[in-house]
Structure 1
Amino acid sequence: MRFDNILCVCTGNICRSPLAEAYLTSRLEGVNVTSAGTHALVGHGADETAQLVGHSNGLSLDGHEARQLTLELARGQDLILVMERGHLDWVATTIPAVRGRTFLASQWRDRADVDDPYRRSREYFETIFSRLTLCLDDWVTKVQSA
């Protein structure tokens, strides 16, 4: 199966999923990567600390605008990567049609949540970003071999 469209999902769509979107975009040439939130802060830009962490790792979150995960958005995705088990449950309840395409970002690592760094220290953001990129690197390998 080809993965031409990947959606990264977190809660507010201002921290983890925009970072995941930018990271996967930088690693997967020719793949459309986007993001959304289960309880998005619709219209908000990326969190300031997320932007700093992204920039310090060569990623830009400039122009990001948070949006809500909807059935319409989810339908067009080949793969949906969520940050927490609670997001899996939310998708299963709210958009059950795409549950079979929805996986934890940490699926191939430890299947543990990628914790939310919102309103935490820059150091905590860096720790979460490091964990997130390790998890996403596993997906990059899977997507490239598909």
Structure 2
Amino acid sequence: MIYVLFVCLGNICRSPMAEAMFRKRVEDEGLAEQFVIDSAGIGGWHQGSPPHEGTRKLLDQKGISYEGMKARQIINEDITTYDYIIAMDAEIVGALRSIAGYGSHHFIGRLLEFVEEDDRDDVPDPYYTGNFEEVYDLIETGIDRFLTYVKKDQNL
């Protein structure tokens, strides 16, 4: 199994959007049985809440399920359990590396690291900007490139 965790600040906008989109993408490619996909937030402010209304609305428009998704805060065990921990921005990467410390862990990086032709490093937080469509487009490109990377890395 390949374990993938998407992480943002509160786990209600960007990371659940990425989780739902990545789930659909691996299902469409017939790879769902090979993946465990989840999302989490650095903070626990929204723990137990469904994805943000803006995320839900956009996923509904695109026909992408987010059924059963609830915000949760990252825990220490996530660092060693997940093969790929994908952050939405550099601040989240820093927080994840702080949690991980110097112990053994797998890949921790930003989603947009996989999108070489885009100058942006971070997926902006639509909780503050309200621009859920821009975020969707960035995540869509990012997960496509990330899946290509994983398939090569895992010989799929």
**TM-score normalised by structure 1 residue count:** 0.89
1:108-136 CA-to-partner distances (Å, cap 9, x unmatched) read: 21461000001544xx1011111111111
8 A Cα contact 1:91 1:98, kept in partner: no
Q: Are 1:95 and 2:100 matched, yes or no?
A: yes
Task: State the match for 1:37 in structure 2.
Answer: 41
C-alpha separation in 1, matches of 2:49 and 2:14? 14
Q: Percent identity?
A: 29
How many residues were matched structurally? 142
Aligned partner (choices 57, 60, 67) of residue 55 of structure 1:
60
1:25-45 CA-to-partner distances (Å, cap 9, x unmatched) read: 111222111000001311111
Q: Are 1:9 and 2:16 matched, yes or no?
A: no
C-alpha separation in 2, matches of 1:119 and 1:11? 12
Distance 1:4 1:99, change over 3 A: closer
SS in 1 for 2:133: helix
Aligned partner (choices 72, 75, 78) of residue 73 of structure 1:
78
SS in 1 for 2:12: coil
Unaligned runs of 5+ in 2: none
Aligned-residue Cα RMSD (Å) equals 1.7
8 A Cα contact 1:92 1:99, kept in partner: no
Q: CA deviation at 1:58?
A: 1.7
Task: State the match for 1:134 in structure 2.
Answer: 141
After TM superposition, where is structure 1 displaced by more than 3 Å over at least 4 residues in a row? 97-100
Unaligned runs of 5+ in 1: none
Q: Are 1:22 and 2:27 matched, yes or no?
A: no
Task: State the match for 1:143 in structure 2.
Answer: 150
